[in-house]
Structure 1
Amino acid sequence: MKKIAIFGGTGMTGLCTVEAALKQGLEVRALLRDPSRLPESLRNQVEVFTGDVLVKEDVDKVIEGRDAVVVTLGTRNDLSPTTIMSDGLKNILSAMENKNVKTISVCLSTFLFYDKPKVPAMFHGINDDHERMLHLLQATEGLNWIAVMPPHIGDTPSGDYNVEIGSSPGRAISKFDLAKFMIECLSKPEYYKQRMGLATKVPVP
């Protein structure tokens, strides 16, 4: 794997994911509605396409010739009910099928590990769209998808963290560790078609 496409590359997790991919020597292509949001230090290292994940033709161009895809779509703290993320993922998955790209990691939420009544009401709108995204992944055939479901994402420095298949190992994760995992999991077949939890290791008193 040498060439990846990143969607949502200017959010908190997205920017860290772009940086993590570049540190691993990958060729990064990103679809951005506003390229000016990409820090100047990264612009000459990333192949930027201006467009919208909701426009099928824009998505097709970005995925052409890629080895894998990373999705860190978000709503910039807008918790209103939405279908933007799942509608965008529909376009991404369609383009992957058409362009014969097989591997994708998608950042969702740890709340998908919860029973719905236990999800705080303020997050229901976002969680519903994350659930739609998970169902889209699970419905695909022949796709190596990884649903990454982190807990609270913090600005803390990178450190040791736990990874679990099918459950969450804790309450918080560094954005730098999450970004690193979003890239590294693409090359780990044991994580394909799995819901992945990860969290910072808590020191034993």
Structure 2
Amino acid sequence: MSDTDNRKISPGLKIALEYGPLIVFFAVFMLARDRVVTLGGEDYGGFVLATMVFVPVLAASILALWRLTGRLSAMQVMTLVLVVVFGGLTVWLNDERFFKMKPTIIYAIFAGLLGLGLALRRNWLELVLGEALPMQHEGWVRLTRRLVLLFAAMAVANEFVWRTMSDTAWVNFKTFGLPLIMFAFFMANARLFNRYALDNDEG
């Protein structure tokens, strides 16, 4: 059991499995965004077609991660469930709005759960990531507060983009904008990680 839990894969393969499906979605959309494809007597635009490809590719990548590492994070499981549900609704109803709402719901859930944990004085982020990123409790509290604000802002931003901009603008925002925002956030918090790292604790 412990051998399964401790299996590791190369960073390059992990990144490919985590971000590969998003790149596939982007590529299919860019190739098919001006086309209409008829399947089973139904006409599908490029966005729905890209979603149709993305859902099984994401499911396969997450299954591969589970098989290779023996574990999945709560975030990966939640993402898969929401992608299957909202991606399935998008294809079934031929309505792209469902898939575009998915990031809003994911970020709102994360913000709500982290905020609820703080209100209950239970830092769930620390419970999940504390072993991988040893840090003093105060550091986890500060990071969690900032993440609540970040996720809430990203939920609002996603709603604004998909409701007011073109499909292409939203796909670019989803593929590049949101990951870059997350990367910039953690880079901006590097000082917090260093300040509250357990190695810096006088104890």
| TM > 0.5 | no
Higher relative contact order (CA 8 A, sep 6+): 1
TM-score, normalised relative to structure 1:
0.29
TM-score, normalised relative to structure 2:
0.29
Give the number of the structure whose residues are more often strand, by fraction: 1
Structure (1 or 2) with the larger CA radius of gyration: 2
Give the number of the structure whose residues are more often helix, by fraction: 2
